[in-house]
Amino acid sequence: MMINAPEIAGSTAEERRAFIKTKYPCIADCDMCGLCKVFRGKDAEHAYADYISGKRTYADVSADYRRR
């Protein structure tokens, strides 16, 4: 199990996508899970698209969804 997000420079988009899918699995029960609410109606893969594509770091994208 990966604890830290793969760095963009040392990973592929597929590895980053797999990390996001593992870290934020959809359990198909939005009332119980709450991830859709955290990501403002997006699934995790869509929310982290810039990280997966290598445009922004995991930390930068995560900061977009932290509660203010």
pLDDT in tens, 10-62: 999 999 999 999 999 888 777 777 777 888 888 899 999 999 999 999 999 99
Structure pTM?
0.84
Q: Which two tokens stand for residue 7?
A: 């760095």
CB 48 within 8 A of CB 20: yes
Q: Which two tokens stand for residue 61?
A: 């994208």
Which pLDDT belongs to residue 66? Answer: 83
**Got the DSSP string for 1-68?**
---SPPPSTTS-HHHHHHHHHHHS---S-HHHH-HHHHTTT--HHHHTHHHHTTSS-HHHHHHHTS--
Mention every residue, 6+ apart, whose C-beta is less than 8 A from residue 49: none
